């Protein structure tokens, strides 16, 4: 479904991605783990065309989307819940969700809303509340819900567990699992919380310093000695 091949991305003279290859098949959950500053967010942003890859190609459903502007890429069916959630704080929950559906097919709003509110009943309770006044977990649910509102075929999640309490993290990951199972949604997730991310994922990649150094099924990576020492025992 998504094929990233040999992508190099630069911030000015800084090379943040140094030739990244990643492949995601339809219906999969794929996790990308790596330390702070490895380039995970940059990869997600590059897939969305902002910043653009200087070398290499990004194919989505066989089509080259490397040079397209972001709004064109999103319209083709990729939605991202960006790092730090980036909900619209002064807008209500409902308005946030409406913003998500701005590129969706007309008339789909009511159905999608129903689906998102069933997935996150918490949002239903808070539907009229200002998004900025919600808890971190609720905001994360909103960010994912908003991304889902555009009826994507590929969902990109950037550190959905960032700064959340363990119990909430569990809820969020459960929701990701549900989305994948019930809606057949393909999910590409970036995480520092390696244990949960790999347990949930069908496959995983490890990124170090702008390069993918390892890949395998979630279970394989979890069992891997290097992964364990680098990402599981120290911090998490």
Partner 1 sequence: MTALSVSSPRSIAWPAILKEAAITAFVALLLTVPLVGLRTVDRPTGLGLETRWAEVAAAVGLVFLGRLGLCLIRDGQPTVVLVLAAAATAAGFLIQMPTEALRVILIAGGAIIAIRAAIAIRTGRSKLSQAERDQRMDRIAAKVQHASRWLGPIAVVVALAFPMTPLADRQLLDIGILLLTYIMLGWGLNIVVGLAGLLDLGYVAFYAVGAYSYALLAHYFGLSFWVCLPLAGLLAAGSGVLLGFPVLRLRGDYFAIVTLGFGEIIRIILVNWYQFTGGPNGISGIPRPSFFGVADFVRSPPEGTLAFHEMFGLEFSPLHRIVFLYYLILVLALVVNVFTLRIRKLPLGRAWEALREDDIACASLGINRTNMKLAAFAIAAMFGGFAGSFFATRQGFISPESFTFIESAIILAIVVLGGMGSQIGVVVATLLVIGLPEAFRELADYRMLAFGMGMVLIMLWRPRGLLAHRDPTILLYGRNGKGAGGAAAGTAAAGGQGIAGGRAK
Ligand X SMILES: Nc1ncnc2c1ncn2[C@@H]1O[C@H](COP(=O)(O)OP(=O)(O)O)[C@@H](O)[C@H]1O
Place of tokens 């940059």: 42
β-strand pairing of 55-60 with 29-34 = unpaired
- The nearest distance, CB 176 to partner 1, in angstroms, is 18
Q: Taking CB under 8 A as the criterion, which residues in 84-113 touch partner 1?
A: 86-92, 94-95, 98-103, 106-110, 113
- The nearest distance, CB 153 to ligand X, in angstroms, is 24
Comparing every residue's Cβ against Mg ion, the nearest one is: 41
Partner from partner 1, ligand X, Mg ion, none contacting 42, C-beta within 5 to 8 A by type: ligand X
| Distance, CA of 66 to CA of 38 (rounded, Å) | 21
Residues that bind ligand X (CB under 6 A): 11, 14, 16, 34, 36-42
Residue 115 in contact with partner 1, rule: CB under 8 A = no
Burial class (CB in 10 A: 0-12, 13-18, 19+), 198: buried
DSSP H or E run through 196:
helix 194-200
Residue 234 in contact with partner 1, rule: CB under 8 A = no
Residue 123 in contact with partner 1, rule: CB under 8 A = no
- The nearest distance, CB 136 to ligand X, in angstroms, is 18
- The nearest distance, CB 86 to partner 1, in angstroms, is 4
- Closer to ligand X by CB, 11 or 71: give it: 11
Residue 54 in contact with partner 1, rule: CB under 8 A = no
Alpha-carbon separation of residue 53 from 16, 44, 64, 164, 214 (angstroms): 10, 11, 12, 31, 22
- Closer to partner 1 by CB, 113 or 198: give it: 113
Residue 223 neighbours by CB under 8 Å, 6+ apart:
none
To the nearest 10 degrees (0 to 180), the angle between helices 93-100 and 109-119 is 120
């Amino acid at each position: 479904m998504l094929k990233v091949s040999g992508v190099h991305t630069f911030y000015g003279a800084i090379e943040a991605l140094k030739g990244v290859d990643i492949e995601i098949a339809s219906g999969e959950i794929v996790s990308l783990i790596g330390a702070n500053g490895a380039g995970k967010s940059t990869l997600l942003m590059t897939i969305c065309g902002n910043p653009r890859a200087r070398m290499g190609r990004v194919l989505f459903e066989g089509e080259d989307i490397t040079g397209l502007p972001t709004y064109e890429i999103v319209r083709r069916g990729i939605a991202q819940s960006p790092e730090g959630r980036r909900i619209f704080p002064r807008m209500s929950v409902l308005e946030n969700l409406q913003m998500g559906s701005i590129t969706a097919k007309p008339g789909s709003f009511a159905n999608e809303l129903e689906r998102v509110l069933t997935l996150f009943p918490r949002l239903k309770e808070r539907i009229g509340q200002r998004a900025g006044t919600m808890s971190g977990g609720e905001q994360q649910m909103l960010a994912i819900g908003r991304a889902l509102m555009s009826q994507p075929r590929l969902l990109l999640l950037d550190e959905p567990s960032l700064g959340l309490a363990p119990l909430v993290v569990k809820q969020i990951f459960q929701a990701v699992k549900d989305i994948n199972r019930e809606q057949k949604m393909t999910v590409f997730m970036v995480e520092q919380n390696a244990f949960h991310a790999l347990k949930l994922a069908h496959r995983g990649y490890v990124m170090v310093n702008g390069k993918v150094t390892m890949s395998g099924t979630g279970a394989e990576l979890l069992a891997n000695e290097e992964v364990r020492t680098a990402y599981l025992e120290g911090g998490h």
